[in-house]
Amino acid sequence: MPKKGEKLSDEQKQKMQEGRKRLQQQTTESVARPNPVATAGERAGRRKRAPLGVRRSKLTVQFPIPNHHLHWINDDKTRLHDAIQGGYEFVSEAEVGMIGDPDITPGNDDLGMKVSKTVGTKDDHSPMVAYLMKIPTELYEQDQAEKQADIDEKEKAIYRGEHSESVENKYIPAEGMKISHTN
């Protein structure tokens, strides 16, 4: 990934060009093909109505990257550093196309190669930016299996009555606690 001011490699230029072509092709195809179930207003060129108060995604990824898990990671404290240490890499706009619902702030907020969106504010009132990152699916699944193994071990300890956390200042009913596990 080039730093600010560095030139792009031929491979990076080619990837960006391919991403732009895919996006342009998809846009052209969606305009060229009439939607058979579209309303008369939509066929006349009007936008589809989006009711007020209905959820719309600002972080939708148009072209998922094959064999990778994508994750938005906030630039808060050490989160980005931790993600990089865990095997995540930044995603470029050429890899995924346009981000978000086209009706609400589509596109990328980052002026460089990284895909990012402003998602809120930090404690110091500066903008909270989330970066789209990727990790190979195989590594993601290994991480998830490791997390689940830890959860399973904690549950087993609770069932055996050996939960290691202090119960001081925690609610325990007068009749005690009973945990049953059903599969």
Per-position pLDDT tens, the chain of length 183: 455 556 667 777 777 777 667 666 655 554 444 444 445 544 455 556 667 777 777 788 878 899 999 999 999 999 999 999 999 999 988 888 767 655 545 555 666 688 888 889 999 999 999 999 999 999 999 999 999 999 998 888 877 777 666 656 666 777 777 777 676
User: What pLDDT is recorded for position 71?
Assistant: 93
CA distance 26 to 21: 8
Specify whether the backbone of 93 is left (phi greater than 0), alpha (psi in -120 to 50) or beta: alpha
CA distance 4 to 38: 45
119: CB partners within 8 A, 6+ apart? 58, 59, 72, 74, 128, 129, 130
CA distance 72 to 129: 10
User: What pLDDT is recorded for position 37?
Assistant: 47
